[in-house]
């Protein structure tokens, strides 16, 4: 395949970097009252964080995707699932030769889009192994992510 057709950062591997999963009883959890937060008391909440580390000497990039799922509130049992995946990407050229627009798109859209199916599978596997009734992570809307990334302040 011609090199200009390839994305300059290719995903090599995804590994489970860190993980903790705790089953809590409602009395043990330190959650706020659902009526105060405006959230459905039965719905788990989740947060997503993405950090990128460039390994210039190896022409590689590590993307750390951290997922935290808590809930469902006010139901037994409650769960606190926290895990980080590391995606290892290899640059097809020197990292400083990658255009700024490509870096911006990679960090806001492509990296998380490529790693999201792994996060969904890990979430499903963890919840099944603990017989927890956690829903699958939602499917991402890549076009929506691209639009959001173009907004000022993103």
Q: pLDDT of 39-51, one tens digit each? A: 555 677 888 999 9
Percent above pLDDT 90 for the chain: 47
What residue segments make up the domains of the chain, in order of their start?
7-30+41-150
Q: pLDDT of 77-97, one tens digit each? A: 678 889 999 999 999 999 999
Give the CATH class of 7-30+41-150.
Answer: alpha beta
Whether 71 shows a pLDDT value over 60: the answer reads yes
Q: What is the largest CA-CA distance in the chain?
A: 59
Q: pLDDT of 124-153, one tens digit each? A: 898 888 877 777 787 877 666 666 666 665
Name the token pair of 105: 């798109």
């Amino acid at each position: 395949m011609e090199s200009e057709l390839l994305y300059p950062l290719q995903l090599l591997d995804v590994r489970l970097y860190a993980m903790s999963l705790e089953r809590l009883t409602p009395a043990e959890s330190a959650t706020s009252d659902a009526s105060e937060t405006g959230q459905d008391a039965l719905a788990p909440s989740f947060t997503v964080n993405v950090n990128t580390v460039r390994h210039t000497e190896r022409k590689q990039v590590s993307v750390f995707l951290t997922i935290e799922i808590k809930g469902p509130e006010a139901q037994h049992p409650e769960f606190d699932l926290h895990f980080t995946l590391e995606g290892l990407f290899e640059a097809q050229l020197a990292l400083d030769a990658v255009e700024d627009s490509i870096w911006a798109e990679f960090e806001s859209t492509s990296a998380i889009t490529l790693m999201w199916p792994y996060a969904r599978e890990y979430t499903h596997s963890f919840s099944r192994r603990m017989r927890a009734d956690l829903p699958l992570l939602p499917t991402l809307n890549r076009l929506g992510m691209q639009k959001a990334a173009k907004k000022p302040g993103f």
